[in-house]
Structure 1
Amino acid sequence: MDQSLNERQRAVLDWVGQGCLAGQHVQDQRTGPAEPRARQNHQTPREWSAHLTEKGQQHLTERGIRPVEQSTRPPERPARKSAPPRPRAAPKARTTYADQLLEELAANDGCLIKPVESGPHAVNWASRVSAARKSGKIPRTQELRGYPTHSGYEIKLVDIPAWRLAELTPLPVPARLTKPHTVVAALQKQPQPMGLTKPLQGRALRIIHTLITATEAQGHKAALGTTQGAPPPHRRRKAPPHFTITAQGESVGFLVLQEQDRSEHIPTDKELAEAKKYSWMRIARFDYTPSSRLRFVLRGGSPHRASEWADLPDRPLEDQLAEIAQEVGLRGEAAERKRLADQQAREVQQKRWEAAMQEARAAYAHAFRVKHLGEQADAWHQVNHLTEYVTAVRDHATSLPPGQERNEIEAWLAFADAHLQHLTESVSAPKLPTPPKPSGDDLKPFLGHWSPYGPRSY
């Protein structure tokens, strides 16, 4: 058997028979030991096991080597320590233009002014505002507004008025009018109260009755208007109202109109002949026929929701009555606020005018006394000047012989002495003068833009 094994094979057999001792390696004639070769290649040696066959054990016994007892169970591989799972990072939320816009608004007190640019890379701020509105990230109580101004595109996040967030209770319209309101009863007595077709007139009266009843429950008053019948087409929205509702002193007029359906006009033979015959003849392009739709036109006061309400395909006028009743109340409240604000402004203006008038009177009195002081100073200078002159004349008179000339000079001196005595008394005892009551024209120079005749300004 020795002849069948070469030297290297016998070495391997001896190593296996000794139990593959650690630290002993089989020499590879080409590259050296197997394990170091694996290290040179930076590779981890493969795990393997070797067992002696019967011929291998016999060969070792014949050479006097007692083989180590072999285990038929292959060695277990050491369990690899698995690395702990890395925590997966949460995916970052994508920041959209709408998010950026809302963040900027939050950082700038809800107001931005963006420059308006042109070119292929210019930002369309109107489109971004529209996208932000559709994003669903704007609070329910706020709304986003955007509009161009002289300084750029202004974007604002403002609070929605409370009246727009209020939940309105629907107003049920009765199927029949058993006890119509006095205004409705007055309309019924007219032959064509609002110029409506017969099928639509009953419905319109029931809607008006419901609206007036609901608004009167809120403290408002209704009255019959001046329009009878339908206004001419060219004055449909300019005609006087059919009825009015007054809320807190603000009268809101209601004009009831019947909508018209428009269809393409097919010229008749007569129209074609007349158009051919007369150059001024114009054939109408459309035909208009009364429809079953109503429209309410509101005039008076400050509009809030709208100024017109009409039947819609998915929302008839009956479903909009709560909004119309609210609109009447809102216009009345706005009128009351304006009345109070105007009254307060008038009171403030009255106080400012009274203060200006008081200052003007004081300024007038001061100016009058300053003028009187100047007159007194002038009189003092005049007394001194006249005294010197009279003294010189008297000295001259004493040098004259008796006669007519001296008598005339002495008579003049008597007049001059009396006048000087009066001037001297007024100058020697000055008093603070009392100004006379000034007129409007006297006060004008001291009032600035105010009128002396009332709390008005020029």
Structure 2
Amino acid sequence: MELADIDPSYYDNLVRSANRHGKVPAGQRLEFSGGWRKAAVTLTGEPIPAAEEAHEAAKPIIEVPVAEQLRRLHPAVASARQDKTRLAFKGPVRNRALRVLDALAKEAVRRGYEVSRAEVNPRGYRGSSRDSDLVITIGEHDHALSVVEDTDRTPHEPTARELEEAAKPFGRRIPKYDHTPSGRLTVHINGGLGVRQSHFGDTKTYNLENRLGEILQEIEGRAAASEARRLERIAQAEAEKRAWEEVRDQAILDATEAYYAKVLAKQAERWERANELARYLDAMAARIESLDPEPRAAGEAWLAWSRTYVASLSPLAKKLRMPEAPKLTTEDIKPFMRGLSPYGPRGY
């Protein structure tokens, strides 16, 4: 469901409340994303395991100290400070945002995590974390943090020029509201499986600085959930591979048996053909006996060659042994793969 011109904190709280109190279908959960101008509520089929949620709820939230001045910044935060395209807030607000990021970065390092800035390619894109100001990596899992300044929404008073433009055919629509910077900050988390929420900001009762421990706890919960899912996928892939290999091995046996059966059938065909020709040669010999000497000699020469040839046709005239195992190709075993791909468990 897409939303426009809404209070993101209000809907974020509604979503979290619905998830906590079982107001969503079993086995699913709601996720909120977006901001004031545009947002969305999505129903996903990846629920938070109850044991994991209880574990996270039981963990104490460690208070994260925030420096009063911008000194000895973490390198990633120092880099963000130099990038004037990021955190484009007014001086005091930008100063505060940098101090919040620095506190999160230093606490993450203290806990043994990696902290970096989103990499920017020569064209200015940051890939999946292009809007982030900081990336905290736990194990193999990245979590991008971005700081935004919330806005205050007030009814828009249209100007005379706006009214004039709107009156024209296909004129520009007059906005309903004005959005002005409020000085309030919100940290957005992108990456991993959401455990509780994705936005942490200033509220009527809490400052953002008092919620940094919650932010790190959310990131740790996401990393744990992502790691559990990664291990589950690895185990599933290994199980699929084992099952595929069993089918593949049996397909090789079946294809080999089919090859031997073809060899046997061809031997039987040659034996029947040799017997049929041998009967004909017996009739030929009887006819030659009745011929005069001159044509009899010519007939006997032909009969001699024919008997030698027919004798070579019969497989029983040769040494009987097990045929050599066939050199099977992927296409040879394909008909015996029970519908699976012969190229691998994932079809390649």
TM-score bracket, shorter-length normalisation? 0.7 to 0.9
1:457 shift after superposition: 4.7
In 2, are the aligned partners of 1:264 and 1:287 still within 8 Å (CA)?
Answer: yes
Task: Determine the structure 1 residue equivalent to 2:101.
Answer: 208
8 Å Cα contact 2:270-2:315 kept in structure 1: no
Within 2, Cα distance between the matches of 1:374 and 1:429? 17
CA contact (8 A) 1:248 1:333 kept: no
Deviation at 1:347, TM superposition (A): 2.1
Q: Does 1:386 align with 2:277?
A: yes
Residues 254 and 296 in structure 1, CA contact (< 8 A), matched pair in contact too: yes
1:186 Cα deviation from its structure 2 partner: 1.1
Q: 1:419 to 1:192 in 2, by over 3 A?
A: closer
CA 1:283/1:417 → structure 2, altered by over 3 Å: closer, same or farther?
closer
Task: Return the alpha-carbon distance in structure 2 between the equivalents of residues 390 and 180 of structure 1.
Answer: 104
Which residue in 1 is equivalent to 2:70?
177
- Please tell me whether residue 412 in structure 1 is matched to residue 280 in structure 2: no
- Distance, in Å, in 2 between the alignment partners of 1:216 and 1:238 is 20
Report the secondary structure of 1:167's partner residue: coil
Whole-Å separation in 2 of the counterparts to 1:260 and 1:389: 104
Distance in structure 2 (CA, Å) of the matches to 1:214 and 1:285: 42
- Residue 244 (structure 1) aligns with: 135
Task: Name the counterpart of 1:348.
Answer: 239
Aligned CA distance change for structure 1 residues 315 and 415 (closer, same or farther; 3 Å): same
| Deviation of 1:276 (Å) | 5.4
C-alpha distance in 2, partners of 1:238/1:212? Answer: 16
CA gap of 1:285–1:226, structure 2 versus 1, over 3 A, is: farther
| Structure 1 pair 373–264 and aligned structure 2 pair: CA distance change class (3 A) | same
Please give the TM-score of this superposition, normalised by the length of structure 2.
0.77
Q: How does 1:136-155 map to 2 (within 5 A)?
A: 145=22, 147=24
Give 4+ residue runs of structure 1 displaced > 6 Å after superposition: none
Is 2:343 aligned against 1:453?
A: yes
CA deviation after TM superposition for structure 1 residue 425, in Å: 5.8
**Equivalent residues of 1:295, 1:309 under 8 A apart:** yes
Of the three residues 316, 335, 346, the one matched with 1:426 is 316
Of Structure 1 and Structure 2, the greater helix share is in 2
Q: Shift of the alpha carbon at 1:272? A: 4.2
Aligned residue in 1 for 2:225: 334
* Cα deviation digits, residues 49-75 of structure 1 (max 9, x gap): xxxxxxxxxxxxxxxxxxxxxxxxxxx
CA RMSD, Structure 1 to Structure 2 (Å) = 2.7
1:445: Cα distance to partner?
Answer: 0.9
Amino acid at match of 2:188: V
Alpha-carbon distance between aligned partners in 1 of 2:345 and 2:71, rounded to the nearest angstrom = 56
Q: Which letter maps to 1:324?
A: I
- Is 1:248–1:335's contact at 8 Å kept on the other side of the alignment? no
Look up the match of 1:95: none
Task: Determine the C-alpha separation between the residues in 1 that align with 2:204 and 2:21.
Answer: 29
Shift of residue 266, structure 1, vs aligned partner: 2.3
- Given residue 316 of structure 1, which amino acid in structure 2 is its aligned partner? N
Q: Which of 1 and 2 has greater Rg? A: 1
Which whole-Å deviations, capped at 9, do the CAs of 1:413-456 have from their partners, x for residues lacking one? 11211112223463574322123210111111111222222233
Confirm or deny: 8 A CA contact 2:118 2:130 kept in the other structure: no
Aligned partner letter, 1:447: M
Q: Partner of 1:439 in structure 2? A: 329
Map 1:250-265 to 2 at 5 A.
250-265=141-156
Residue correspondence of structure 1 range 122-141 to structure 2 within 5 A: none
Match runs of 1:220-235 below 5 Å: 220-225=113-118
**Cα deviation digits, residues 374-403 of structure 1 (max 9, x gap):** 222222222222221101101100100022
CA distance in 2, matches of 1:249, 1:370: 53
Structure 2 residue 287 is the aligned partner of structure 1 residue 396: yes
What amino acid is aligned across from residue 205 of structure 1 in structure 2? Answer: L
Report the counterpart of residue 60 of structure 2 in structure 1. Answer: 167
> 1:374, 1:290 → 2: CA distance?
86
TM-score normalized with structure 1 length: 0.60
SS state at 2:251 partner: helix
3-state SS of paired residue (2:293):
coil
1:192 Cα offset (Å):
5.0
Equivalent pair of 2:142/2:191 in contact (CA under 8 Å): yes
1:350–1:279 CA distance, 2 compared to 1 (3 A) = closer
1:219 matched to 2:109? The reply is no
Q: Indicate if the aligned counterparts of 1:226 and 1:243 stay in contact, CA closer than 8 A.
A: no
Distance 1:388 1:280 in 2: 101
CA distance in 2, matches of 1:345, 1:353: 12
Structure 1 CA distance, aligned partners of 2:311 and 2:112?
83
**Does the residue aligned with 1:388 lie in a helix, a strand or coil?**
helix
Give me the identity figure in percent: 30
Q: Which residue type is aligned with residue 456 of structure 1?
A: R
Q: Give the Cα separation in 2 of the matches to 1:456 and 1:189.
A: 46
Question: Quick check: 1:191 aligned with 2:84?
Answer: yes
Higher relative CO (CA 8 A, sep ≥ 6), structure 1 or 2? Answer: 2
**Which ranges in structure 1 are unaligned for 5 or more consecutive residues?**
1-132, 134-142, 150-157, 228-236
SS in 1 for 2:179: strand
Matched, 1:375 2:252: no
C-alpha contact 2:74 2:106 (8 A) present in aligned 1 = yes
CA positional deviation for 1:277: 6.7
Change in 2 beyond 3 A, CA 1:416/1:171? same
5+ residue gaps in structure 2? 1-16, 27-49, 121-127
3-state SS of the aligned residue for 1:161? Answer: helix
